[in-house]
């Protein structure tokens, strides 16, 4: 049963084309991933389907009410993940016929990501899932609507299948483009050779007499002209052939350590016996940890465990036992878009934030999805995802030797995610970041600090305590027997030793 039918849609923003749709159809029970670069129109499509946006041309048929959960921002007393979970639970409990979720896994910890996957797999209505989360898309969706080059196209299969199809198309396009380039080069070379031959015919053979040259001049000119016309028509036919567009390739970038402030010292952050609380809740108790220069540290833990609070505490430098090195020049990304001046252009905003060469800045912007066409746009004209990219770029290219990034992967498209991971892998300073995107963490992090039982644990440095040997237990039992036989022994001492023996036996496990 068809529930959504889109035909010949044209959507403009500020007089400029945003996207077109020739035909998209969604049926009951479909689970559709909606993917594309930030600002390409994914959330705008959702607003068209909910009826909140009527500024378009074409035909939109939506046969049932739509439940829409938009992108969520954190509140003063709840994390973004906690707010999103509440909204998702409310939406699912209403059992909607059509459900649209916009970046639902952003800010969710691993446990709740798995919960979300199971809930959406069980959902029996029509689901449109706007997301950059590859794991979520692959686990849930059966179709993909991708917006590319201002056009929505439907693909069968989940996100992984869509990517495989696109990679094959790109490889085919690259091969065809190279063949076309070689063919056109060969045609031009053939034209040049024929023109050179025509010139030699015009001049005639140097052994010809003056009389012979005069008699054959008209014939030689006609032959040469015909040869030139044939060569010109040959090239023209080649140019009229169907032209293959050069595949779009993202420009790379090279980071140089001397472009950033040098860090002097052996430790960037030191935490000794740190106790951290917020809103009356204890987050850390007597925690010890250390972050060294050039570490790329992922801070992980459940929603509300204190990850963002720890980042703020490091910056504030007011918590007892928590020390940020004086040489640290910290660039902070926290998705606070109010820090951006809406009256400035994109290029002005980035250029003012950095001392890197123009070309390096352009390469970083292009790789993260803000190429040259964005330079003259005002900050106020950008989409939410584009604003995230702009703020992130300003931090990445700024004069910092420590980057502190709180959920930098939220709302970034996959291309930007891959570019960001590549950038951070080559960043010459220290990176401290919070992210629930596991593939991103695996690509970037050299260390992990995990919130667990009000401690900050480094799993790579946890050493399991050795189990007590039988000899240790035998010694304690001998001391126990001596105490029992000594009439002067106190009951408290005997009980303490008995408890110690029981604990050792428990930790030793079955024999």
Q: Do residue 80 and residue 148 come from a single domain?
A: yes
Residue 465 confidence class, pLDDT cut points 50, 70, 90: very low
Query: If you average pLDDT over residues 477-487, what whole number do you get?
Result: 70
Q: Does the residue 378 lie in any domain? A: yes
| Adjacent-strand bridge partners of 404 | 332, 432
Q: Answer yes or no: do 385 and 454 share one domain.
A: yes
481 shares a domain with 411: no
**Of 191 and 8, more confident:** 8
Which pLDDT value is given to residue 136? 94
Q: Which domain holds residue 501?
A: 470-508
Tell me: do 189 and 46 sit in the same domain: no
Are 174 and 152 part of one and the same domain? no
pLDDT, tens only, 303-324: 888 998 999 999 998 899 999 9
Query: pLDDT tens digits for 337-371?
Result: 667 888 999 999 999 999 888 988 998 898 888 98
Is 250 a member of any domain?
no
Domain boundary among 96, 122, 157: 157
Question: Is there a single domain that holds both residue 74 and residue 182?
Answer: no
Report, as an integer, the average pLDDT of 136-161: 95
Tell me, yes or no, whether 23 and 148 share the same domain: yes
Residue pLDDT, tens place only, 371-404: 898 999 999 888 877 888 899 999 999 999 999 9
Q: Is 162 domain-assigned?
A: no
SS3 assignment, position 488: coil
Please check whether residue 468 is in contact with residue 507, taking contact to mean a CB–CB distance below 8 angstroms. yes
- pLDDT average, residue stretch 194-198: 88
Average pLDDT rounded to a whole number, residues 479-504: 72
Domains identified in the chain, total number: 4
- Reported in sequence order, the residue ranges of 279-379 that DSSP labels E, i.e. its strands, are 281-291, 296-300, 322-324, 330-333
Residue 176: predicted pLDDT: 83
Q: Average pLDDT over the chain, rounded to whole?
A: 86
Residue 487 pLDDT > 70? no
In terms of domains, do 278 and 384 share one? yes
What pLDDT score does 463 carry?
42
267 in the same domain as 414: yes
| CATH number of the domain enclosing 420 | 3.40.50.300
Query: What whole-number distance in Å separates Cα of residue 60 and Cα of residue 50?
Result: 10
pLDDT at position 467 = 52
Instruction: Look at residues 157, 182, 198 and tell me which one is the last residue of a structural domain.
Output: 157
Q: Give the separation between CA 499 and CA 492, rounded to whole angstroms.
A: 10
At 510, give phi and psi (nearest 5°). Answer: -70, 145
Q: Is residue 502 part of a domain?
A: yes
Burial profile 375-390: b = 16 or more Cβ within 10 angstroms, e = fewer: eebebebbbbbbbbbb
User: Do residues 382 and 457 share a domain?
Assistant: yes
Over the stretch 425-441, which tens digit does the pLDDT of each residue have?
A: 989 999 999 998 888 99
Region 458-486: mean pLDDT is 64
Q: What is the DSSP letter of 257?
A: G
The reply to whether 286 and 389 lie within a common domain is yes
Confidence at 201, pLDDT banded by 50, 70, 90: confident
The verdict on residue 21 lying in a domain is yes
Q: What percent of the residues of the chain are helix, what percent strand, and what percent coil, each to the nearest 5?
A: 45, 25, 35
Is the residue at 249 inside a domain? no
Domain assignment present for residue 320? The answer is yes
Per-residue pLDDT reduced to its tens digit, 226-245: 988 988 888 888 777 767 77
Q: Per the structure block, which two tokens stand in for 68?
A: 């829409």
Residue 245 lies in a domain: no
Q: How confident is the model at residue 464 (pLDDT cuts 50, 70, 90)?
A: very low
Of the residues 117, 137, 157, the one at which a domain ends: 157
Same domain, 299 and 439: yes
Residues 343 and 302: their CA atoms lie apart, in Å, by 38
């Amino acid at each position: 049963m068809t529930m959504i039918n889109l035909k010949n849609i044209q959507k403009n923003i500020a007089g400029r084309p945003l996207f077109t749709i020739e035909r998209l159809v969604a049926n009951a029970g479909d689970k559709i991933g909606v993917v594309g670069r930030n600002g390409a129109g994914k959330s705008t499509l959702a607003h068209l389907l909910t009826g909140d946006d009527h500024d378009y041309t074409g035909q939109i048929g939506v046969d049932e009410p739509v439940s829409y959960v938009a992108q969520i921002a954190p509140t003063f007393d709840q994390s973004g993940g906690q707010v999103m979970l509440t909204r998702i639970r409310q939406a699912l409990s209403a059992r909607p016929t059509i459900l649209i979720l916009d970046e639902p896994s952003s800010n969710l910890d691993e446990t709740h990501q798995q919960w979300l996957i199971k809930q959406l797999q069980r959902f029996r209505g029509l689901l449109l899932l706007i997301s950059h989360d590859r794991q979520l898309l692959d686990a849930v969706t059966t179709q993909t609507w991708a917006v590319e080059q201002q056009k929505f196209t439907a693909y069968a299969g989940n996100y992984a299948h869509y990517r495989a199809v696109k990679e094959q198309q790109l490889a085919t396009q690259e091969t065809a483009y190279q063949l076309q380039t070689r063919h056109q080069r060969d045609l031009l070379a053939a034209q040049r050779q024929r023109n050179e031959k025509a010139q030699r015919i015009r001049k005639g053979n140097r052994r010809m007499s003056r009389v012979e040259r005069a008699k054959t001049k008209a014939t030689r000119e006609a032959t040469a002209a015909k040869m030139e016309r044939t060569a010109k028509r040959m090239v023209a036919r080649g140019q009229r052939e169907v032209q293959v567009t050069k595949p779009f390739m993202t420009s790379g970038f090279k980071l140089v350590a001397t472009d950033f402030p040098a860090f002097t010292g052996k430790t960037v952050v030191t935490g000794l016996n740190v106790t951290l609380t917020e809103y009356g809740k204890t987050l850390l108790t007597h925690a010890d940890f250390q972050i060294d220069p050039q570490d790329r540290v992922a801070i992980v833990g459940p929603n509300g465990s204190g990850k963002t609070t720890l980042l703020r505490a490091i910056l504030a430098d007011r918590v007892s036992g928590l020390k940020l090195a004086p040489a640290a020049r910290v660039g902070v990304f926290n998705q606070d878009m109010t820090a951006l001046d809406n009256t400035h252009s994109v290029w002005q905003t980035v250029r003012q934030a950095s001392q890197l060469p123009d070309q390096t800045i352009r390469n970083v912007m292009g790789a993260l999805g803000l190429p040259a066409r964005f330079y003259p746009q005002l900050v106020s004209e950008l989409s939410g995802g584009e604003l995230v990219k702009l703020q992130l770029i300003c931090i990445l290219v700024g004069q910092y030797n420590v980057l502190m990034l709180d959920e930098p992967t939220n709302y970034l498209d996959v291309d930007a995610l891959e570019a960001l991971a590549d950038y951070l892998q080559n960043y010459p300073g220290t990176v401290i970041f919070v992210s629930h995107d596991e593939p991103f963490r695996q690509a970037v992090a050299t260390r992990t600090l995990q919130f667990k039982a009000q401690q900050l644990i480094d799993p790579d440095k946890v050493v399991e305590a050795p189990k007590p040997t039988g000899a240790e237990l035998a010694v304690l039992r001998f001391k126990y027997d001596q105490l029992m036989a000594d009439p002067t022994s106190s009951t408290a001492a005997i009980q303490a030793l008995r408890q110690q023996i029981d604990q050792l036996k428990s930790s030793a496990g079955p024999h």
